[in-house]
Amino acid sequence: MMQMLQQIYSAPAFSIAISVAAYAIGVLIYKKTKQPFCNPLLLAVIIVCAVVVICHISYKDYMQGGQFITLLLTPATVILAVPLFDQVKLIKKYAPVILISITVGSVASLLSVFALCRVFGLDQQLTASLMPKSITTAIALGVSDTLGGIQAVTAVATLLSGIIGAVLGPIIFKALRVKNRVAVGLAMGTASHAVGTSKALELGEDEGAMSSLAIGVAGIITVVIAPILFTLLWNVWG
């Protein structure tokens, strides 16, 4: 019996099925509650983790199917360019502000992560793994590999960054009375990549377009400056 269950758990279709089902349940709960903390992706992670633990499924077995979902990250990110097409005039109007805002946000993210890693005494490899956590996973994994980080840690950190941004972003904007649609979108995309962008799209077309733009620009900026900044900071404060 146990051997048969193990064969089922290690089948790629099983991992894909529980992942899709978990997300579908998350979407259903979110639609019913409309609560920020019931983010579909967050609920899906909790459900999948629960199934994996209860059924004693190893990470290796789960990734037999999980790897196929991971492959969809890049095309899913590219699809986010669609809202940009409808907001070209808005992008041209705010081009200088957009570029400066995303650059400042990207650098601030890298510096804050490095500073916190030093405060908590994390080693060089873990620091390298966490620094690209605010950009989309497809790019973050490449940056992490370049810096000598652990890709599994980067993937988890990136996922958590996105979920936290999507959940807390609207609450923070409301508390600080930030109503500018461009500012909201740029902040969501720069700080919490595609997951934040999915929330930004719920807030409005302009927010979604700006957030989608921020994903790509923040990714490019991070790819360029992260290796330089990491090497410089580690040599000085490492």
Helix, coil or strand: residue 188:
helix
Average pLDDT over residues 211-229: 91
- Contact call for residues 129 and 65 (beta carbons, < 8 A): no
Distance separating alpha carbons of residues 54 and 34, to the nearest angstrom: 28
Average pLDDT over residues 3-24: 82
Question: How many CB atoms sit inside 10 A of residue 70's CB?
Answer: 13
The residue ranking higher by pLDDT, 103 or 38, is: 103
Position 75 scores a pLDDT of 74
Average pLDDT over residues 25-34: 89
Q: Which amino acid is located at 110 in the chain?
A: L
Residues in the chain: 238
Position 3 scores a pLDDT of 65
- Contact call for residues 219 and 135 (beta carbons, < 8 A): yes
Distance separating alpha carbons of residues 235 and 238, to the nearest angstrom: 6
Cα 6 to the chain's mean position, in Å?
Answer: 31
Average pLDDT over residues 137-160: 90
Exposed, middle or buried: residue 165 (CB in 10 Å: 0-12, 13-18, 19+)? buried
pLDDT-based confidence at 42, cuts 50/70/90? confident
Position 197 scores a pLDDT of 85
Predicted confidence (pLDDT) per residue in 158-194, tens digit:
988 998 998 899 899 999 999 898 899 999 999 998 8
| Global model pTM greater than 0.75 | yes
Position 195 scores a pLDDT of 85
Give every CB contact of residue 225 below 8 A, 6+ residues apart in sequence: 106, 107, 110
Question: How many CB atoms sit inside 10 A of residue 69's CB?
Answer: 15
Exposed e or buried b per residue across 76-105, where buried means at least 16 C-beta atoms within 10 angstroms of its C-beta: ebeebeebbeebeebeeebeeebeebbeeb
Residue 66 pLDDT exceeds 80? no
pLDDT-based confidence at 196, cuts 50/70/90? confident
Q: CA 67 → CA 53, 72, 119, 122, distances in Å? A: 19, 9, 34, 29
Position 80 scores a pLDDT of 65
Residue 9 pLDDT exceeds 80? no
User: What are the residue ranges spanned by the domains of the chain?
Assistant: 2-71, 78-237
Structure tokens at 132: 């690209």
Residue 81 pLDDT exceeds 70? no
- Contact call for residues 107 and 225 (beta carbons, < 8 A): yes
Question: How many CB atoms sit inside 10 A of residue 150's CB?
Answer: 16
Give every CB contact of residue 76 below 8 A, 6+ residues apart in sequence: 194
